[in-house]
Structures are given as C-alpha cells and as structure tokens.
Amino acid sequence: MKFKTALYLVPIPISEAPVSDVIPSGNIEILRQLRHFIVENVRSARRYLRHVDPSFPIADCTFSVLDRHTPPEEVADMLRPLRDGFPMGVMSEAGCPAVADPGSHPVEIAQREGLTVVPLVGPSSVLMALMASGFNGQGFSFHGYLPIDDADRRKTIRRLETESASRLMTQIFIETPYRNNRMLDTLARTLSPSTMICVACDISDPEHERIESAQAREWMKRKYDFDKRPAIFLIYAGAKGGDARRYERK
C-alpha cells in the first residue's frame, strides 16, 4: 500500500497469537512511519509499538487518549496533526478501531472534513465469529452490549429472536467477560429451544480458541465456562427445527 497523509485505522491483535500470524506485514511498515496517534490507552499503545518494533521512536510520538470518558468536544482537536499534513493512526485496545469502539468519532469528523481515511486489514472478532458460526452471513446485525437489567435483557433477546426469524438475520452482541456464563444461560432459557446460539471465545488464539454453534436446548445440557474470556455471542432463528451444529477449534 502506498503511504500517504491519512487517518490510518490500525488493527490490534485480539489474542496472544504471534503478531505475524494476524497482522499483515504491510501494516507494520505503515505503523513505523506514524508519529501521531489517537488511542484508548497510551500505555498499551506504547507496549504494542515496541512489540512490533523494539526500536520504535516512542519519544518522538504524540498520543491523544480517546475512551468512553473523553468529552466529545475534545475529539475534533485530536485531528490537528492530520490537518497540518501529518499522517495519524487510530488504535483501539484490541481488534479493529471504530467498530464497537470510540475510534468512530474521529473517523466521523475526518470524513465530514474531507480528510482521507484508510482502514488497514486486521482481525475483527465480530466478522470472524460470524464466519465460523455457520449462520447467515448475508443478513446480520451487531448490537454491542445488551441491557444489564434482567427483564430488559430478556425482552431484548426475544425481540432479536423475532427479527432473526422474520428477516433471516444473524444477531450479534457482546458481554462483559465475567458475565459470559450468565449471558449464555439467559440465552438458552429465553430463546426458543430450536434457535441457534453460537459462542466464539478467544478468537485467533492458537491454544484456547473455542467456537461452538448449537440449538438453545443443547446449550441447556452442556457444561461450559466462558467467564473472564473475550467472547462474541450470535443467535439465529432462521433455521427452526434443523439439527444442532457444532464447530470447535482448540
């Protein structure tokens, strides 16, 4: 890829897999030329830069922190280096920035101002989970986090199931890792017995990755422990009555 003045969206590994296994070498070459960054966490961003290149000139770099606590009115000023002709990078804590991530805010501003935005290739847990689920990949929707309140959560789950059945749509969402087991139990007890549920856990981790799809009734019988592990949840109600399907990689 030809390097140019742009806002580069820099994917970060989502597991302990070697960087060379999940990040294209071209990304690293672009990363080495950047000196201005918008990041979720400065410490982890610096750690990643040193990991991909121990000689990376961290002292010459500027880092603007963009997280859920950042006031919206401060985001536009973070793009000042780009307006002045310097390329910039946006990095989340893991995965692709701007997807379920505050990095979408500077991208929105850059697009509005006619600044060039370049997304780099890298791991996306949402798309990788969809790929491995066996569910409909032509009609799907990502919902982020579901409501915390039990009653609201169950109501939302039923609504998503109804939409999935009527529109043949895969529904995708995430949960705080320490509540993964509770989420799966709620799904299995709330959904119709034949609705499909997929749990994609530790995606791209060569030792711990586990991706399984099965009907809600089957999850009720299984033993599992997904707590404290990064996971994506998917449901699909468009194939009622089909055989339970299971995909597992360890």
The predicted-structure confidence for 187-244, as pLDDT tens digits, reads as follows 999 999 999 999 999 999 999 999 999 999 999 999 999 999 999 999 999 865 443 3
Amino acid in position 6: A
Global confidence as pTM? 0.88
Q: Please tell me the distance from the alpha carbon of residue 71 to that of residue 44, in angstroms, as a whole number.
A: 21
Q: Please tell me the distance from the alpha carbon of residue 130 to that of residue 137, in angstroms, as a whole number.
A: 7
The predicted-structure confidence for 63-119, as pLDDT tens digits, reads as follows 999 998 999 999 999 999 999 999 999 999 989 999 888 889 999 999 999 999 999
Contact 151, 145 (CB under 8 A): no
CATH superfamily of 125-236: Tetrapyrrole methylase, C-terminal domain (3.30.950.10)
Q: Please tell me the distance from the alpha carbon of residue 45 to that of residue 40, in angstroms, as a whole number.
A: 8
Can you give the residue ranges of every domain in the chain? 7-119, 125-236
Domain at 7-119: CATH architecture:
3-Layer(aba) Sandwich (3.40)
